[in-house]
Structure 1
């Protein structure tokens, strides 16, 4: 039996489905938040926070945040998928989320 898995990326603010949706994290009053946004909505978030970011001080990332990212990523890295995609004549950007159709092609090939 063949199985096809389709991943749909959805903007948490609008419910819009798009390949360009990326996950962003931010923190306020010791509470960490994560939100999936299209680039337009990320720009709105960044513009809204910009005065506070400019006036604030960076304190760096915590070890637990870096560790949790490493632990939760059980699949291939974006760099591995990009390398495979280029070898297989897919056009892929050097940065940002790897498009869903390329991730699916990678999964089907492996």
Structure 2
């Protein structure tokens, strides 16, 4: 069961109460869970800026790409050994390809 909590005051949101609002500012995307009254406050606060602003096309909005966790040095040798045992092409030194990393993570 997934339950929302107002991110401003911690109020537990029951089914049908509150909402998740998504917005972006300076190229960063955000979302916040709010009670109906906090959602209305946010909309009222932003209203003058929205009226004065102009809509950006979807092409102008960049979603933040999920960051991948960098492999630790001890993990790198383990990944190389695993890749070799699977018949995957992996160099002895240097960067491990994203495809090999994805395959390793999917298998573990």
Q: Please, what TM-score do these two structures have when normalized by structure 1?
A: 0.48
Q: Which has the greater radius of gyration?
A: 2
Q: Please, what TM-score do these two structures have when normalized by structure 2?
A: 0.49
Q: 1 or 2 for the larger relative contact order (CA 8 Å, sep ≥6)?
A: 1
